[in-house]
Each structure stands twice: as structure tokens, then as C-alpha cells.
Chains A and B, each alone.
Chain A
Amino acid sequence: MSTRKIGAIIIGAATLIVIGYSIFKIITGKEVGFNEVIVIGTLLMMFFSAITWGNKEEKDGILLEEELGQRITEESSKISYFILLFFILAAVAADKLINGTINVFLLGILGLAMIILPFVEFLVAKKYQ
């Protein structure tokens, strides 16, 4: 079995343990917050990275540094940006519906998120003009 697969299994198991522990905390009425979200997020990030990218030495899977890897990164970045934008918009709408208020910081992030892509595209395009 390749290092990549072993790594993915270990990280996957660790993620399940942390998720299980967080669910246990919720059931027992303990507070679940920043630490759990960050740890689960980090472990899932490592897990998806491990199952996606290959290892050059073991010749196993697509490599991040080769051109197909770069193409995958570019495509997924754009898709991720729009998904994230949608989730921020949904969070602003949910806050308004549930609490009846608009979270100013979240609204600020939504506004910033909407202009970041066209602004960065403008800056990158300047390089080629």
C-alpha cells in the first residue's frame, strides 16, 4: 500500500475520532466551538489533499506540480470561490431570517468577496497589457 493511502487512512480515522468526540460533547451538553471546527477543518483539508494528490517517488496519482495538477487547482479555485460566495450570501440571509438583524461583519465579508475576484483579475490582466 502506498504512503499516500496509509496517510489518508490515518487522517481519515483521526477525523472520524474528532467528529465522534464533538458529537459526544454536543449530546452531553458541553460547548462545541472554535477548536473543534478548526481541528475538523484542518484534518478534512489534509484528508482531501492526501486522497487527491500523488507522490512523485511512488508514481502514484496526479502530481500537484505537474501541468494537469495546476489545471485542476485553477479550475477548482474558481468553482470554490463561487461556492464560498453563495455560502456567505446564505449566511447573511439566514442571519436576517433567524435573528432579524444583519451581521455587519458578515455583510462586509460578502461585499469584499464579491469584488476580490474581479479586482485580482484586473491586477493580473495589467501584467499582460
Chain B
Amino acid sequence: MRNRIKEYREKKGISQGELADLCNVSRQTINAIENNKYDPSLQLAFNLSKTLGVKIDNLFLSGEEI
């Protein structure tokens, strides 16, 4: 599942490590999600959406949008 986490994280001016701390995961998890190597759970997706202040459907792209 493609996502725009990197784009919104950079807009907010925070590093992968800072986002990881805010979502209570490791920096490696954020890196894996940003590089589409790992699809997060619904709970983590909601956490990311809340932390970045972006609607979840704007953060994650469905197949048709790719």
C-alpha cells in the first residue's frame, strides 16, 4: 500500500526518529513504512494519521490512486 507519510512528515518538519517516538515505534518501522516495505496495522495507521494531522485516506493511497 503506497503512502504519503514521508511527504507529510517533511511538511511538518520532523525526522523519522521523532515521528517514531511520537507513535511509540522504532525509526526502522517508520523507514520501512515510508519505503513501502511494510504495511502498518490499522492502529498504527490511525496513530500516524493523528500525529501528522492528516486524514487517514489522504495518508494512504488505494490501488486506483497509484
User: Interface residues, chain A, CB within 8 Å of chain B?
Assistant: 54, 59, 61-63, 66-68, 71
Contact = CB atoms under 8 A, between A and B. Distances in A.
A66 B29 contact: yes
Nearest to A66: B25
Contacts of A61: 26, 28
A59 B17 contact: yes
11 contacts: A54-B28, A61-B28, A62-B26, A62-B29, A63-B25, A66-B25, A66-B26, A66-B29, A68-B25, A68-B28, A71-B38
Which of A61, A66, A68 is packed against the most chain B CB atoms within 10 Å? A68
B3 to A, nearest CB: 15
A67 B26 contact: no
B44 to A, nearest CB: 6
